[in-house]
């Protein structure tokens, strides 16, 4: 079965990343190449991003499973601080689009799911998605440069 590539235009609010967070996610994606990496982002009310790199317990090129203790610690902090939640992982050899497994395992409908693709080695890409009841909706990703006001 050929996977359908959705239109790049989404009707939802954009997911805003500051340049440092974008760069950090790409750096993290390369950090255990060719294996997938994963983690969480806490999104503060002011738009600030708090990064929680979590070990991929599977250490796989095609699948991720967050190390349970690290995941629990990060989730507790995000919930205690009442931050928004983004869940990210990398695709080292494929496009930045949720796989059937990603969709099946998407357990947090309130979360934004980010995929960092290293498929084009010279131009890493980050795409954002809402995944609710197996329905995938792409959200635009806006990169806020350091000189831009929050």
Give the pLDDT of residue 57. Answer: 96
Q: Are 82 and 46 in contact (CB under 8 A)?
A: no
The pLDDT, as a whole number, for residue 146 is 80
Q: Give the pLDDT score at 10.
A: 42
Task: Indicate the SS3 state at residue 90.
Answer: strand
pLDDT score for 145: 87
Domains of the chain: 15-144 (3.40.140.10)
Those residues with Cβ within 8 angstroms of residue 134's Cβ, 6 or more apart along the chain or in another chain: 103, 104, 106
pLDDT in tens, the chain (150 residues): 334 444 444 457 999 999 999 999 999 999 999 999 999 999 999 999 999 999 999 999 999 999 999 999 999 999 999 999 999 999 999 999 999 999 999 999 999 999 999 999 999 999 999 999 999 999 999 999 887 555
Provide the 3-class DSSP secondary structure of residue 133: coil
Q: In 86-123, which positions are buried (b, 16+ CB within 10 angstroms) versus exposed (e)?
A: bbbbbbbeeebbbeeebbeebeeeebbbbbbbbeeeee
DSSP state of 124: -
The pLDDT, as a whole number, for residue 36 is 97
Whether cis (ω within 30° of 0) applies to the bond prior to 69 is no
Local structure of 52: helix, strand or coil: strand
| Structure-block tokens of residue 5 | 């590539």
What is the pLDDT, as a whole number, of residue 1? 38
Report the C-alpha dihedral over residues 60, 76, 12, 65, rounded to 10 degrees. Answer: 10
């Amino acid at each position: 079965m050929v996977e359908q590539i959705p239109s790049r235009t989404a009707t939802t609010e954009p997911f805003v990343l500051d340049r440092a967070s974008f760069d950090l996610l790409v750096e993290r994606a390369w950090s255990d190449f060719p294996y997938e990496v994963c983690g969480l982002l806490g999104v503060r009310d002011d738009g600030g991003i708090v990064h929680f790199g979590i070990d991929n317990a599977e250490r796989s090129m095609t699948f991720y499973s967050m190390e349970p203790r690290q995941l629990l610690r990060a989730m507790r902090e995000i919930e205690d601080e009442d931050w928004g939640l983004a869940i990210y992982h990398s695709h080292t050899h494929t496009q930045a689009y949720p796989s059937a497994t990603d969709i099946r395992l998407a357990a947090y409908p309130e979360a934004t799911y980010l995929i960092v693709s290293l498929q084009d080695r010279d131009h890493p890409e980050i795409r954002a998605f809402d995944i609710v009841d197996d329905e995938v909706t792409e959200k635009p990703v806006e990169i806020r440069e350091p000189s831009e006001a929050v």
